[in-house]
Amino acid sequence: MILLLGGTAEARELAAALAGEARVVSSLAGRVSAPRLPEGEVRIGGFGGPDGLARWLAEHGVQAVVDATHPFAERIGASAVIAARQAGVPLLRLQRPGWRQTDGDDWHWADTLDDAAEKVRTLGERVFLTSGRQGLAAFAGCTGQWFLARCVDPPEPPLPPRIEILLDRGPYSPASEAALLRAHRIDLLVTKDSGGTMTSAKLTAARERGIPVVVVRRPPRPGAPAVADVDAALAWVRDRLAG
Ligand code: NAP
């Protein structure tokens, strides 16, 4: 059996590509109320840290693990490295490349969400926040700005005092993103460097409208062999199944 740590478009693509070829169990954290489900078997919920995950790998006779979680899902990434080592199971990290600044972009890199909140104070007044529900607390102290925050599920306090919540999930188009920026008179965008195409339309729209963007850098991920696309992960899994 292959364990696929998911919650991303790439994980769903890999699960679909492996359907009928191997027994794949996709694992989701259970954070969103109605997750997009991958093809095939799915389990939902944490494993109970690295030890719990190592036990799960041993008990289920897992042949290989692919960590295809989001670039900002630090804890499960660290857990996978420790657990795979403990259980003696090969591990691959599938991580999409980060976004690149191009001509016309006005990007301001932030090391963390707190750092992004500091930058917001001087860069804009009407801010489109796309850093996710769990990232909103970092902006709670920004009292001088108005925020439009887009997330999949309703957020919980603490939140900035002046905020409108937009419940939605990608993919989005540059035209719809531009319309959103215009309708709310947005003058600053905040995003994590998630990478990929599902949510990149906002960057195109910001560039076209000359709006600066605060981009939160990816956290470091612990060492594991890594690939950047689904085809390479598929080849790696097939090698493990053949061996
Ligand atoms: P996290 O901080 O790394 O994980 C927190 C805990 O949630 C982990 O310690 C683990 O619990 C559990 N967990 C996380 N991913 C899991 C998975 N795929 N299967 C089973 N348990 C999982 O992660 P997060 O940032 O909260 O993200 C949660 C999930 O949402 C991830 O799977 C990620 O791919 C997806 N996601 C995250 C973001 C983001 O911006 N962070 C964006 C889009 C999608 P135990 O320690 O108990 O095993």
Residue 213: the pLDDT is: 98
β-pairing, 64-67 vs 91-94, is parallel
Alpha carbon nearest to ligand 1 atom 10, residue = 46
Identify the burial level of 67 via C-beta atoms within 10 angstroms of its C-beta, where 0-12 means exposed, 13-18 middle and 19 or more buried.
buried
What's the pLDDT score for residue 223? 84
Identify the pLDDT of residue 221. 86
Q: Which ligand 1 atom is the nearest neighbour of the CA of 70?
A: 34
Average pLDDT over residues 215-229: 94
Q: What is the model's pLDDT at position 122? A: 97
Position 222 scores a pLDDT of: 83
Mean pLDDT, range 4-32, rounded to an integer: 96
Q: Hunting for tokens 């930058």 — which residue is that? A: 119
pLDDT tens, residue by residue, 90-121: 999 999 999 999 999 999 999 999 999 999 99
pTM for the whole thing? 0.96
Asked if residue 236 has pLDDT above 90, the reply is yes
**pLDDT at position 243, please?**
80
pLDDT digits (tens, 9 = 90+) for 164-189: 999 999 899 999 999 999 999 999 99
CA of 70 to the centre of ligand 1 (A): 8
Is pLDDT above 90 for 218? yes
pLDDT at 85: 97
Condensed to tens digits (0 to 9), the pLDDT of residues 57-86 reads: 999 999 999 999 999 999 999 999 999 999
The pLDDT value given to residue 105: 98
Residue with tokens 């700005």: 145
How many C-beta neighbours within 10 Å does residue 186 have? 24
Ligand 1 cavity residues, CB under 6 Å: 5-8, 27-29, 31, 46-49, 52-53, 69-70, 72-76, 79, 132, 192
Rounded Cα–Cα distance for residues 114 and 111 (Å): 8
